[in-house]
Structure 1
Amino acid sequence: MTAFIPAEWAPHRAMWVGWPSHAEYWFEALEQAQDEVEGLVRALAGPGREQVKLMVGKAEVLADAQARFEGVENVEVVPGEFGDIWLRDTGPIFGAGSKTAAAFRFNGWGGKYDMPGDELVAGQIGEHSGVALTWNDFVMEGGSLDHDGEGTILTTRQCLLNPNRNPAWNKDEAVATAALETAISAKSVLWLGDGLLNDHTDGHVDNLARFVAPGVVACPVAWGRNDPNAEVYDATARDLSGMTDAAGRKIRVLRIPSPGLVLDEDERPIPASHMNFLIANGAVIVPTYGDDEAARFACEALATAFPDREIIPLPSKAILTGGGSFHCISQQEPA
């Protein structure tokens, strides 16, 4: 029987998290981003939850990270090297039981952000975890895919078929699907269109739509009249409602309130998303961006999908200044 990539809600033996390590990338947001990641790590490491492997990407900040988590059970601070903290994209994708792991070429999200060290992340995680990597000769980031544990993959054409990743694919879904079948035993690929406005990942699906159960996909509904992604959200929901998964189930759609319009320091919309939640052992950690009411409704909606897990909202606005949130900075090792 084919071993598919486990769904994120399957049990984990560990959870990798990246620690904001480079002042030259984070500028004035560094300390707040570190505080937000500390909150995430402490929530993950709670009783009955995760063994956290916190990767620190710069020797100069290692001592501070170790001091923050001294005496905290279930947190291992791992010295490493990376460009930035987006381990979901630069690390490997672990298979069932973490007996295998697939790794991919990484080109800085289509050549936009070339940060020395990012190309080394997958190898470091594989070595530390004791898992041999299977390298695949195409460009892909883990955040561009979502998995139902039964061979169904969610992705977006905007990212996976973008010529800035794999020009030879030439927007050909069949070629990309065949590559995923070989690399991660994909059985069925569900293709969505565009991701969020101003998402420098070119529309990663983990900001747009996520499996929350077999045959059930969560995606946002606009919050407020000025939500810049309202049309994208509605198009995504319509597309999903016409799809079936690898087991032949018609996809059911769970609409979850978005954070609404969130602006950067230059008053431009940024890709804030409650979809970047992280499913942990015993909990779902939901990023929030300053609108308490939107966050509360999003958490209530997610609680209907995960009644056996604690829903934990935590601030992620400083992390978002770097371009992502909790799901983007993490990667699970399935048990």
Structure 2
Amino acid sequence: MTTKRVLPAEWANQSAVMLTWPHPGTDWAGLMEEVEPVFVNIAQAVLRYEHLVISCEYVARLQELERDLNRYAEENSLPGRVKTVPAPANDTWARDHGPITIITDDKPTLLDFRFNAWGGKFPSEKDDALNSNLLNAGVFGTTTMQQIDFVLEGGSIESDGQGTLLTTSECLLTPSRNPAMDRTAIEQLLSDVLGVGRILWLNHGYLAGDDTDSHIDTLARFCAPDHICYVACPDVADEHYSALAAMEEELQEFRQADGSAYKLTPLPWPEAIHDEDHERLPATYANFLIINGAVLLPVYGVAQDQDAIAIMRDIFPSRDIVPIDCRPLIRQHGSLHCVTMQIPAGVVS
């Protein structure tokens, strides 16, 4: 009997969202007062729609979070509850070190890919062990976890839930991740492990300040099986203009499995945001999170935020659009989708 594997789209029903909480042992050490409120806002927003799994290396802080967030849920009669796990972590990017869930013969299976901090850029041994720690703590109930000897981050892939994967060659073909494998070998592995039948490769597109080698979740996202939204830069004087225009052309050339073109929606281009060293930070509206009944949208306190909210309401008319100020997050070169990982239905009770 052939085993059917499906990588769910993000809009598939979820049981929980995973957060790896910042602590003073991470790169957030000097920014804790700025960044923790962002995590609290994300946590409270998730609880309005579904459950939450939080891990943190600092046990005392974890106990406070469990108490305060569950009290918040109870006082507001929310459906979500918090499950907390003390576990070491190098950093907070749950999208990339969290488990990727596939549906195998209608049952969820957790895949634990190797994580090497985007090609060995930063320490990662604690993050790479985190999923096993969560499994051993009982977070995932009876759901099985499969270890995959392949470096892959959740932010580097987008699924339409129907067998098509969207990704970037800049990331997946970077030698510092899986040096022994070429594109053909990587395509075969992703087909075998994730159950995808088609891979759409973007060869253009980047964001200044991005440590991930052009993760797809900062550039282009499936909104529906036939609909992709993407980052567009209208300013010909901007350093991103050529690369993002080339990416747009690639998206226009992509075809669905039935041969028809995709519906494409350009997202606003936020004005440039720089850090204290005048380095440009990777602000992008593509880094949203789809959850049960809502879309959590990163905003940055710039004029383009309102346009982004309006476009999201058009794209997702049946979901609440919840803006969350993520300007502190981009100080460490990521945003809202980067710090979250959705756990599909049937995994976390």
Q: State the TM bucket, normalised to the shorter chain.
A: over 0.9
Pick aligned residue for 1:4 from 3, 6, 25:
6
Matched AA of 2:126: G
Pick aligned residue for 1:35 from 37, 50, 65:
37
Instruction: Decide whether the 8 Å contact of 2:235 with 2:241 is kept in 1.
Output: no
Report whether the alignment pairs 1:95 with 2:102: yes
Secondary structure, aligned partner of 1:262: coil
Could you say if the C-alpha distance between residues 165 and 67 of structure 1 is closer, same or farther in structure 2, counting changes exceeding 3 Å? same
* Aligned mates of 2:166, 2:56 — CA distance in 1: 30
Superposition RMSD in Å: 1.9
Corresponding residue number in structure 2 for 1:58:
58
Q: Deviations over 1:285-325 (max 9, x none)?
A: 1111220x311111111211100001111101112222211
Could you say if the C-alpha distance between residues 245 and 121 of structure 1 is closer, same or farther in structure 2, counting changes exceeding 3 Å? farther
Corresponding residue number in structure 1 for 2:167:
155
Could you say if the C-alpha distance between residues 150 and 85 of structure 1 is closer, same or farther in structure 2, counting changes exceeding 3 Å? same
Report whether the alignment pairs 1:13 with 2:15: yes
Pick aligned residue for 1:75 from 81, 88, 98:
81
Q: Deviations over 1:123-155 (max 9, x none)?
A: 234442122111221111111101110011111
Report whether the alignment pairs 1:198 with 2:178: no
* Aligned mates of 2:132, 2:259 — CA distance in 1: 36
Secondary structure, aligned partner of 1:231: helix
Tell me the CA shift for residue 23 of structure 1: 4.8
Could you say if the C-alpha distance between residues 90 and 98 of structure 1 is closer, same or farther in structure 2, counting changes exceeding 3 Å? farther
- The number of aligned residues is 330
The answer for unaligned runs of 5 or more in structure 2 is 74-79
Corresponding residue number in structure 2 for 1:211:
222
Pick aligned residue for 1:84 from 69, 88, 91:
91
TM-score (norm: length of structure 2): 0.89
Report whether the alignment pairs 1:268 with 2:266: no
The answer for unaligned runs of 5 or more in structure 1 is none
Instruction: Decide whether the 8 Å contact of 2:26 with 2:91 is kept in 1.
Output: no
* Aligned mates of 2:66, 2:236 — CA distance in 1: 44
Secondary structure, aligned partner of 1:290: coil
Tell me the CA shift for residue 67 of structure 1: 4.5
Tell me the CA shift for residue 207 of structure 1: 0.4
Corresponding residue number in structure 1 for 2:126:
117
Report whether the alignment pairs 1:332 with 2:327: no
Could you say if the C-alpha distance between residues 24 and 107 of structure 1 is closer, same or farther in structure 2, counting changes exceeding 3 Å? closer
Could you say if the C-alpha distance between residues 258 and 70 of structure 1 is closer, same or farther in structure 2, counting changes exceeding 3 Å? same
Secondary structure, aligned partner of 1:33: helix
Matched AA of 2:320: E
Higher alpha-carbon deviation: 24-33 or 87-96: 24-33
Could you say if the C-alpha distance between residues 225 and 231 of structure 1 is closer, same or farther in structure 2, counting changes exceeding 3 Å? closer
Report whether the alignment pairs 1:306 with 2:334: no
Could you say if the C-alpha distance between residues 161 and 321 of structure 1 is closer, same or farther in structure 2, counting changes exceeding 3 Å? same
Runs of 4 or more consecutive aligned structure 1 residues displaced over 6 Å after TM superposition: none
Higher alpha-carbon deviation: 307-316 or 242-251: 242-251
Instruction: Decide whether the 8 Å contact of 2:114 with 2:148 is kept in 1.
Output: yes
Q: Deviations over 1:46-94 (max 9, x none)?
A: 1xx1111122233353244235424122231332221111111111111
Report whether the alignment pairs 1:26 with 2:32: no
Corresponding residue number in structure 1 for 2:116:
107
Could you say if the C-alpha distance between residues 236 and 126 of structure 1 is closer, same or farther in structure 2, counting changes exceeding 3 Å? farther
Tell me the CA shift for residue 225 of structure 1: 6.2
Could you say if the C-alpha distance between residues 213 and 93 of structure 1 is closer, same or farther in structure 2, counting changes exceeding 3 Å? same
Report whether the alignment pairs 1:132 with 2:138: no
Instruction: Decide whether the 8 Å contact of 1:227 with 1:261 is kept in 2.
Output: no
Task: Report sequence identity in percent.
Answer: 33
* Aligned mates of 1:184, 1:51 — CA distance in 2: 25
Secondary structure, aligned partner of 1:22: coil
Q: Deviations over 1:146-205 (max 9, x none)?
A: 111001111111110000101112xx3222111100111111111012432231111111
Secondary structure, aligned partner of 1:13: strand
Could you say if the C-alpha distance between residues 159 and 111 of structure 1 is closer, same or farther in structure 2, counting changes exceeding 3 Å? same
Q: Deviations over 1:5-26 (max 9, x none)?
A: 1111111111112211235511
Corresponding residue number in structure 2 for 1:228:
239
Instruction: Decide whether the 8 Å contact of 1:92 with 1:125 is kept in 2.
Output: no
